[in-house]
Chain A
Amino acid sequence: DTAVSQTPKYLVTQMGNDKSIKCEQNLGHDTMYWYKQDSKKFLKIMFSYNNKELIINETVPNRFSPKSPDKAHLNLHINSLELGDSAVYFCASSRLTTRGSGQYFGPGTRLTVT
């Protein structure tokens, strides 16, 4: 069983397009996250949702819009894609009340904008 899954794993698209990445977790966690890993492998949080409510929104262009239809899903929609959006995007989940248990990551989505 896959704990945290993301689709698609690879996404190649042109500048100006709109795309979505889907994430699902079956761990029963109440908090989900989106991270961006740049070409230098640096990981930075973008968003966090707890029980479908946005609790963290780091400095991210408003072209990025997360949507959480329920506790098990957190999708990322990106409008008007730019070259600089090329990166690997990771979804993760955890239980907010047990922050010491760590976060569990999906396999990542490699986004390439041409």
Chain B
Amino acid sequence: AQTVTQSQPEMSVQEAETVTLSCTYDTSESDYYLFWYKQPPSRQMILVIRQEAYKQQNATENRFSVNFQKAAKSFSLKISDSQLGDAAMYFCAYKGNTPLVFGKGTRLSVIA
């Protein structure tokens, strides 16, 4: 079964600085998708960024970018120019031929 591991339960970053959240996964599939979801205190799950496994180019969405290392099964999220509104739980998720599998999340605090 596929598993997703987020090894950092909590992270903090100064406003305007850059932070990287780690995610590793385990799979034997070759075709799959990876996602980062943000859950602010409002508890709404918001899709931040997605990556297709067969694309070598790392996905970017404004201040959010990923470092996708397929061989290492690593999918980290980089947040640049961190803002107070970035404070949230961040979940890494995997989608292959199975239901969406989530990691346990990383709580990000942003310090003014």
Contacts and interface: CB of A to CB of B under 8 A. Distances in A.
Interface of A: 33, 40-45, 48, 56, 58, 88, 90, 92, 99-105, 107-108, 110
Contacts of A45: 99-100
B50 A102 contact: yes
Query: Per DSSP, are chain B's interface residues mostly helix, strand or loop, or mixed?
Result: strand
Contacts of B44: 105, 107-108
Interface string B74-97: 000000000000000101000100
A108 B44 CA distance: 7
Given A41-B89, A100-B50, A105 B104 contact: no
Interface residues of B, number: 20
B99 A42 contact: no
A5 B41 CA distance: 18
Contact of A99 (B33, B46, B91): B33
Contacts of A33: 99-100
Given A48-B99, A100-B33, A102-B35, A43 B91 contact: yes
B95 A99 contact: yes
Given A88-B43, A108-B43, A110-B43, 14 more contacts: A44-B102, A45-B99, A45-B100, A56-B99, A99-B33, A100-B50, A102-B35, A102-B50, A102-B95, A103-B100, A104-B47, A105-B46, A107-B42, A108-B44
7 nearest A-B pairs in the assembled complex, by CB-CB distance:
A105-B45, A100-B33, A43-B102, A45-B99, A102-B47, A108-B43, A41-B105
Contacts of A42: 102, 104-105
Contacts of A40: 104
Contacts of A108: 43-45
Nearest to A41: B105
